[in-house]
Homo-oligomer: A and B are copies of this chain.
C-alpha cells in the first residue's frame, strides 16, 4: 500500500466532504464564514486523506510567502547561535518561516539577493553587509530590510544594533580611570562593520583621554588571531601595553593565553585585556573577561518586530534602534571600581 500517491488537495477533500473546493479553502482560513456542520464534515474529510494546505500555492495567490530571509556571514562575529536561534523562534511564533542564507565572500552577495528575491521572501534580516545596489534591488521590490548590528551612515535603512561605541567608551573609560597609560587594539576583519565601530569608538575615547599612538593589529575574530595579535604587539614594543582592547571576546581570550603562555605575563597584573560580546566563554573561570554584554534577546525581538511592522506597512519610515550594552567588570582588567554588571548610561 504505497503512500507515494500524490498529496491530497482541497479538491480531494471537497469531493469527499461533498462540498465545493472554495468551501474547503474557507474552512482552513482564519475568520471565514462556514457553518458548523460543513466545517465538521470538511475537517473529517481532510483528516481522512491527510490534507494539509499548500503554503506555496497560497503564497502565489496572496502574494505573501510568510518567509523571511536571514543573512549571515561567517565573518560576522555572530555572537553565537543565540542570535540565529532566537530570531528563528521569534519569527516562528508569529507564523513566519526563516530562509537562511550564508554569505562567505563578498562576491556572493548579489547572487544571494537574487535568490531571496526569487523566493519571494516578505522581508530580510541581514547580519552581513549589503551594498548599495543590492539594497536598491530589495527596495525596488518593496521588500523591507532590517540590519542587525550594522547600520548605514545615511540612516536610510532600518537597523537594530548594540551601541558598540558606547561599550568601548565604557571599557576605555574604566581602564583609563584605573591608570592604564599604554594601549593596544586587536581589531576584527577590516570589512566587519561591527569591528570598525568598536575600534574607532575605542580610539576616539582614548584620544579624549589624551592617548594617541595606539597600535592596532588586525585579527579575524578567531582565537588564533587573538593569540597572534598579541604576539605581534609584543614585537612592536619592548614592553607589553598596559591594556589590550580586543574587538571580541574570543580574541581577548586568545590574547590572554598568548600573554600568559608565550610571555609569562599575568592578567590583569601585567596586562589588562578586554573584549566585547559577553556570551558563553567570557564567563569561563580561567578568563572572566572584562567585557560588554549585548542584550541579544531584546535585540532579536526588536528586529523581528521592526521587520514585521514594515511587512504590514511598507511605507513606514526607516528606524534605528540602538541598545546599550551591559558593562561586565570581570577580572581580566584592573578596574577602578569592581562592581556588579551594570547597564551603560
Give A residues with C-beta under 8 Å from B.
Answer: 3-4, 7, 50, 52-57, 59-60, 65, 67, 70, 72, 74, 78, 80-81, 84-85, 88-89, 92, 97-102, 104, 114-115, 117-120, 137, 139-142, 223, 253, 257, 260-261, 280-281, 283-287, 314
Contact status A285-B314, CB under 8 Å: no
6 additional A-B residue pairs with CB within 8 Å, beyond A84-B100, A257-B286: A3-B139, A57-B60, A60-B60, A67-B99, A70-B100, A92-B101
Residues of B within 8 A of A50 (CB): 137, 140
Contacts of A57 in B (CB 8 A): 60
Closest to A58 in B: B118
Using CB atoms, name the residue of chain B closest to A97.
B99
Does A260 contact B285, Cβ atoms closer than 8 Å? yes
Closest chain B CB from A97 CB (angstroms)? 6
Inter-chain CA distance A102–B87, complex, in Å, is 10
Query: In whole angstroms, what is the CA distance A55 to B114 when docked?
Result: 11
Are A92 and B99 closer than 8 Å at their CB atoms?
no
**CB-CB < 8 A to A3: which residues of B?**
139-142
Complex contacts, A260 vs chain B, CB 8 Å = 285
In the bound complex, how far is the Cα of B80 from the Cα of A114, in angstroms? Answer: 27
Q: What are 6 A-B pairs with beta-carbon distances under 8 A? A: A3-B140, A4-B314, A67-B119, A81-B84, A89-B104, A257-B285
CA distance A55 to B285 in the complex (A): 50
B102/A88 in contact, CB under 8 A = yes
Point out the residues of chain B lying under 8 angstroms from A139, CB to CB: 3
- Residue pair A280, B99 in contact (C-beta under 8 Å): no
State the CA gap A319–B118 with chains docked (Å): 33
Say yes or no: A280-B80 contact (C-beta < 8 A), given A52-B118, A74-B85, A102-B92.
no
Indicate if the CB atoms of A54 and B120 lie closer than 8 Å: yes
Q: Are A100 and B88 in contact (CB under 8 A)?
A: yes
* A104 nearest in chain B by CB position: B89
| B223 with A280: CB separation less than 8 A | yes
Nearest CB in chain B to that of A287: its residue? B286
Query: Given A4-B142, A80-B80, A81-B84 in contact, is the A98-B97 Cβ separation under 8 Å?
Result: no
Contacts of A115 in B (CB 8 A): 97
> A119 touching B56 by the CB < 8 A rule?
yes
Cβ distance A53 to chain B, nearest Cβ, rounded Å: 6
A83 to chain B, nearest CB (A): 10
